[in-house]
Chains A and B, each alone.
Chain A
Amino acid sequence: MTRTTDSVALNEWQAVGTVEEIASGKRRNTRLLGQDIIVELDGDRPRMFETNADGGMGTEHPAQIHYGHVWTTLGSPEKPPLDMPEFQEEGRRLVKVGAVTVRASALRIVENFLDMSHFPYVHTGILGEEPVTEVNDYKIEIREPEDEIWTTDCSFFQPQAAASADDGQISEYMYRVSSPFVTVLYKTCPVVDGAWDLVGIFVQPKDEAECDVHTFMLVFDDTSTMADLVHFQQEIFLQDRSILENQIPPGLPLDPKDEMAIKADGSSMMYRRWLRKKGLTFGTYRGSESSQAA
């Protein structure tokens, strides 16, 4: 497909790879919102170009480094990428899981990330297990002026909440959606009392129904090896992918009549309303229209 005309999607910052994946002197050929792009590091300076018809470098667009990833945009974002002050805290480890391609809409991927009721069925024995399947009430709000969705007071029983967890625990969660394509969760740290571990996904929408997902963790964990931490998160994400690539239609329906919901879907319904209010169309299900993720 060609570059989208959806200005809501174009005017966001998007992560397109880790700094390691785009090492100095190496180019990453990828795609963003239907536009083929080239990303490179010129020393420490990230650069992004549209790919020409002949494969060469075309128009240059802004690029920045945040949280170990290269961020870029094809439009004119009104606000910078999300603020995560936890990255300044001593003692945390940043785990960059690396890009995983998922043939699904970015919006389905973000919505799945916000969902707790799938834990016992998709992440059986790790993040949940029958018969403890109930999703307790939680709070949902839009925080201004950031225009972010926050769900707080979430809790769920988990057999193995993190790579460092030996036993089951009731995990407390908070979820945060800072852009249609960026979401982070804050979760009870099994090691440090009172601390939150962060897990987030920066979804790079390549086309309406294909993404590269850049997952990170920012955790207090001095015992697990980096490989253990990456494997733990990769296993979970690959379980999610088996779901995400089998949702019909691939595009996310924003009309509440198209898919049934329950109270536990409160954050998903808020996300869908929030997207509709923004006027986002890229990656949504739009009935019988042609060029879409149907």
Chain B
Amino acid sequence: MSDEFPDNAWYAVGGSDALASGDVIPVHLFGEERVAWRGDDGQSHVWQNRCVHRGMRLQYGFVDGDRLACRYHGWRFGGDARCEVIPAHPHMTPPDDYCIPAFQSADQGGLIWTAAGTPDEPPPEFPAGGEPLFCRTAAVSASPAATRQYVCRLATQEVAPGYFLMTNTYETSELTLAVAIQPSGKDCAQLHVVSAITTDGTGTQALRLYASAWTRRIRNAIEEQNRKEVVA
């Protein structure tokens, strides 16, 4: 946590489209391990990446309907993070306190958001006009602060901590990008890039290709600058 990436704030951890129903992925926030998953009901969840039974990372688990199952012993946890089924004792009702610590989370503006601490506000809305189109995620081998500093220079606005709005020209069109920085750890960050679907007929495939190329360029530039600073 820092001034730039405060506690009690929302951070994006991936594109909503990148987490389909049935998917389970590990996510990191300030070095802490979390797991994101989506049930068949379409609801996304972000929990502690650790089963309360024997400490197994839940990222290796599997989705069973609207429940997440731990890979080790098949314990099923419902959307409210409470244990509902313990297969070793199929007739037992699990105690109320057998539940996974869960974090606030929401799908908003093409991204999955999770809370550090307890934010007062809901996650930020998509700041560009029109429909959000999630384009890509890129891991950056640089500190969240260095990543932020670089992205900040290109942005017109910081909508929320680590969430930036910018306008770029692509061929003859003006394109709006929303860029969310996930402060994954001390020396790593993720960039999640969403563009706005334009009304001038630029296809979504073209938008994604453009945003993807842009993201790659920015990532390389941040890492290049970071290498120079480390050497110096």
Contacts and interface: CB of A to CB of B under 8 A. Distances in A.
A246 B98 contact: no
A243 B53 CA distance: 13
Interface string B67-109: 0011111100000000000111110100101100000000000
A262 B33 contact: no
A135 B71 contact: no
Most A Cβ at <10 Å: residue of B49, B74, B87, B92: B87
Interface string B129-169: 00000000000000000000000000000000000000000
Interface in A112-139: 115-118, 120-122, 130, 133-135
Interface string B31-60: 001000000000000000110111111001
Nearest to A261: B53
Interface residues of B, number: 25
B71 A248 contact: no
Given A117-B73, A118-B73, A121-B72, A247 B56 contact: yes
A133 B90 contact: yes
Interface of B is mostly: loop
B71 A243 contact: yes
Contact of A121 (B52, B55, B73): B73
Interface in A235-292: 242-243, 246-249, 253, 259-264
Contact of B74 (A120, A249, A262): A120
Most A Cβ at <10 Å: residue of B53, B69, B95, B98: B53
A276 to B, nearest CB: 17
21 contacts: A117-B73, A120-B74, A121-B69, A121-B70, A121-B71, A122-B72, A130-B87, A133-B88, A134-B87, A135-B88, A242-B60, A246-B56, A247-B57, A248-B55, A248-B56, A260-B95, A260-B97, A262-B86, A262-B88, A262-B92, A264-B88
